[in-house]
């Protein structure tokens, strides 16, 4: 099934957290945020999970550099995205992808707030199907911006091609702080996702690591 090229990007502390136990996810530094906004302007769509919308209320637009805004996609099985969410604001196209368990009044609310709503899957959004649908719509490059759960689902289903992680020089700890990839996890390293390091850059105070997915670790 044809699908767009997917780049997973995140800002992470040295101990692998993408937010603190208190939910603070302002991990990046200004030069890295500028890099992120440039990257947004270079893709056709930006994708996040509903948890990120609820926690961070991101706009997902290009503001720190000059460039076009990508389409915004929210994977939101239960249609929990609040109608006042920033991701629904402005004249940028937003698609909220729900499953059949989403309540029809929530779906209607989102449509009235300007979102296009797509239903895919019974109780879980079929991500491979979604990517194929986006391909048919002309989407060729997607920037996956988290969070932890959606990163897991996308990686587990083999739908990520590249991982770019900005490692900040900070440690925040916390067993319950969200990590780069959540979900149920693999029980053996050998069963995990193999990556190949392709680039190391310094971006402000962060180290930006770029990996290709699907290659042998060593
Ligand atoms: N530092 C960074 O770069 C960065 C970037 C993004 C986010 N974050 C942080 O990450 C945290 C959010 O992560 P999270 O794991 O809580 O949330 P998330 O991954 O953003 O969203 C998870 C939710 O998305 C929905 N979802 C995901 N895959 C689905 C599928 N295949 N089918 C149906 N629904 C699906 C589910 O909603 P339902 O349960 O409603 O079905 C799920 O609970 C926040 O703390 C945020 O600050 C950090």
Q: How far is the CA of 218 from the centre of ligand 1 (A)?
A: 31
The predicted structure's pLDDT at residue 129: 97
Concatenating the DSSP letter of every residue in 182-196 gives: -SS--SSGGGS--EE
- Determine, yes or no, domain membership for 64: yes
Residue 216 has pLDDT above 80, yes or no: no
Q: Is 58 touching ligand 1 by the criterion CB < 6 Å?
A: no
CB-count burial class (<10 Å; 0-12, 13-18, 19+) for 22: exposed
The model's pLDDT over 71-128, given as tens digits with 9 standing for 90+, comes to 999 999 999 999 999 999 999 999 999 999 999 999 999 999 999 999 999 999 999 9
Domain coverage including residue 146: 5-213
Q: What is the CATH number of the domain that holds 32?
A: 3.40.430.10
Cβ pair 5, 163 in contact under 8 A:
no
Residue 218 has pLDDT above 80, yes or no: no
Average pLDDT over all residues of the chain = 97
The predicted structure's pLDDT at residue 173: 98
Q: Is 23 touching ligand 1 by the criterion CB < 6 Å?
A: yes
- Determine, yes or no, domain membership for 218: no
Mutational test site, ligand 1, from 15, 149, 152, 163, max ligand atoms within 8 Å of CB: 149
Mutational test site, ligand 1, from 10, 46, 50, max ligand atoms within 8 Å of CB: 50
- Determine, yes or no, domain membership for 125: yes
Q: Which atom of ligand 1 is found nearest the CA of 25?
A: 47
Total structural domains in the chain?
1
Work out the pLDDT band at 19, boundaries 50, 70, 90: very high
The predicted structure's pLDDT at residue 217: 58
């Amino acid at each position: 099934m044809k699908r767009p090229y997917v780049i997973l990007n995140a800002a992470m502390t040295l101990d692998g957290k993408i937010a603190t136990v208190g939910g603070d996810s302002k991990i990046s530094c200004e030069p890295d945020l500028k890099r992120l906004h440039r990257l947004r302007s270079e893709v056709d769509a930006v994708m996040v999970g509903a948890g990120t919308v609820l926690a961070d209320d991101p706009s997902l637009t290009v503001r720190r550099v000059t460039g076009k805004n990508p389409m915004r996609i929210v994977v939101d099985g239960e249609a929990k995205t609040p109608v006042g969410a920033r991701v629904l604001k402005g004249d940028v196209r937003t698609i909220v992808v729900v499953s059949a368990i989403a309540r029809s009044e929530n779906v209607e609310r989102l449509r009235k707030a300007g979102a296009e709503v797509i239903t895919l899957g019974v109780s879980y959004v079929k991500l491979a199907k979604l990517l194929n649908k986006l391909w048919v719509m002309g989407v060729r490059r997607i920037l996956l911006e988290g969070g932890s759960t959606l990163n897991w689902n996308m990686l587990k289903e083999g739908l990520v091609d590249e991982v770019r992680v900005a490692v900040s020089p900070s440690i925040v700890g916390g067993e319950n702080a969200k990590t780069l990839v959540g979900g149920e996890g693999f029980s053996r390293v050998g069963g995990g996702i193999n990556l190949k390091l392709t680039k190391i850059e310094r971006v402000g105070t962060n180290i930006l690591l770029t990996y290709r997915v699907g290659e042998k670790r060593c």
